[in-house]
């Protein structure tokens, strides 16, 4: 038995030299020291067969062998762990001098930029922003705005119906009705949002954006609208910009006007942008028709108001020299990236 023990010791010493990774080390440990299956625990069992006199001495030798083997394995384990850790670190190393991927920074949509600019100008005049629904009923989009069925003004706005009773709003003016019905006068609201009309060419898109303004107070006159628009236009297009009111017609305002600004490209001399006229139309507006107030349960002998509607896409196009509205909506990042705050 003693010889065998010596042999085992030699085998372990030889075999451990060959071990170069933790898997092989684990297998070696299993082979020699694991309980029940290992060679050394098996020796312990065999001890029972030895003579009574030899047993204590042999037991000591086997135990010493076991302690020695355990220590040898532990040392080897440390060495292998170190080697493997180094290898892993090398493999996982990152090159901190490598240039990073360039992050693309997005920009706000040109229409959003115009909207934000207008909202901040109007906020300074005490307006609050409300957003009302895009799917409207006939009452809010037309009837309450003094545009009853069969009224010719309905033809101007080719409507997308979603059912017999509901449509995509053709303008932001139904927001006037919702405001009049829900807010106690006096008030000033701005209603920006998407609107829809069956119209599609270089300057019209079936979906576009408007911003409605509504002021309700006592003794409002056309002068109030004119004064406010003057401030707006100068802030938006520059101090030298002039405004011009032309009589117009909308069922929900009386009197109604269309407002032109002196061309901010040529200063009024006439150019391609203003089609040689020196003026550019930017909005429709007027004094709120008494019928509209009455339709909303607002006493028209006490309250008066003015309203206006701006085309946001149109202003975005004019300000950026875009001659086709679809450039705004085709989603071509190369085009949209050029619009900056
Ligand atoms: N809703 C009108 C349009 O879409 C614009 C407008 C708004 C006119 C408010 C007068 C008052 O053409």
pLDDT at 321 (0 to 100): 84
Total residues found in the chain within this entry: 341
* pLDDT tens digits along 3-43: 888 898 899 989 999 988 999 999 999 998 888 888 888 88
pLDDT at 156: 66
The confidence score (pLDDT) of residue 284 equals 96
Record the pTM: 0.71
Query: Which atom of ligand 1 is the closest one to the Cα of 210?
Result: 4
- Which pLDDT score, from 0 to 100, does residue 52 have? 86
Closest CA to 232 of 246, 249, 219, 213: 213
* Per-residue confidence (pLDDT) for residue 100, from 0 to 100: 86
The pLDDT assigned to 103 comes to 85
Q: What pLDDT is stored for residue 203 in this prediction?
A: 86
Residue 290's pLDDT is 98
CA 71-76-81 angle, to 5 degrees, is 125
pLDDT at residue 336 in the model? 84
Closest CA to ligand 1's atom 5: 309
| pLDDT < 70 regions, the chain | 155-157, 341
Query: For ligand 1, atom 9, which residue shows the shortest CA distance?
Result: 308
Q: What is the pLDDT of residue 216?
A: 98
By most ligand atoms within 8 Å of CB, the mutation choice from 284, 293, 308 for ligand 1 is 284
Distance 143 CA to ligand 1 centre (A): 14
Q: What is the mean pLDDT of the chain?
A: 91
pLDDT at 2: 80
């Amino acid at each position: 038995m003693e010889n065998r023990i010596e042999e085992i010791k030699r085998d372990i010493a030889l075999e451990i030299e060959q071990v170069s990774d933790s898997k092989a080390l684990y297998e070696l440990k299993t082979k020699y020291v694991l309980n029940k299956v290992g060679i050394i625990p098996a020796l312990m069992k065999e001890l029972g067969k030895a003579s009574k006199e030899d047993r204590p001495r042999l037991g000591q030798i086997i135990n010493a062998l076991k302690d020695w083997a355990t220590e040898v394995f532990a040392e080897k384990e440390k060495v292998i762990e170190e080697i493997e850790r180094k290898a892993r670190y090398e493999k996982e190393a990152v090159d901190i001098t490598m240039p990073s991927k360039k992050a693309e920074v997005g920009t706000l949509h040109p229409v959003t930029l115009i909207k934000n600019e207008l909202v901040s100008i109007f906020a300074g005049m005490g307006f609050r922003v409300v957003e009302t629904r895009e799917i409207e009923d006939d009452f809010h989009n037309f009837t309450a705005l003094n545009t009853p069925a069969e009224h010719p003004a309905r033809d101007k706005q080719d409507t997308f119906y979603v059912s017999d009773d509901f449509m995509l709003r053709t303008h932001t003016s139904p927001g006037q009705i919702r405001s009049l019905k829900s807010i106690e006068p006096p008030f000033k609201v701005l209603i920006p949002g998407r609107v829809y009309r069956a119209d599609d060419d270089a300057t019209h898109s079936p979906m576009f954006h408007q911003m409605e303004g509504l002021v309700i107070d006592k003794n409002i006159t056309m002068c109030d609208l004119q004064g406010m628009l003057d401030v707006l236009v100068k802030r938006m297009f520059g101090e030298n910009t002039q405004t011009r009111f032309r009589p117009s017609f909308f069922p929900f305002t009386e009197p109604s006007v269309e407002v032109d600004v002196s061309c901010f490209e040529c200063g009024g001399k006439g150019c391609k942008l203003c089609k040689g006229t020196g003026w550019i139309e930017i909005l429709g507006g007027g004094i709120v028709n008494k019928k509209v107030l009455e339709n909303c349960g607002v006493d028209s002998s006490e309250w008066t108001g003015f309203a206006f509607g701006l085309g946001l896409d149109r202003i975005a196009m004019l300000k950026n020299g875009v001659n086709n509205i679809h450039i705004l909506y085709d989603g071509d990042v190369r085009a949209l990236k050029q619009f900056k705050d």
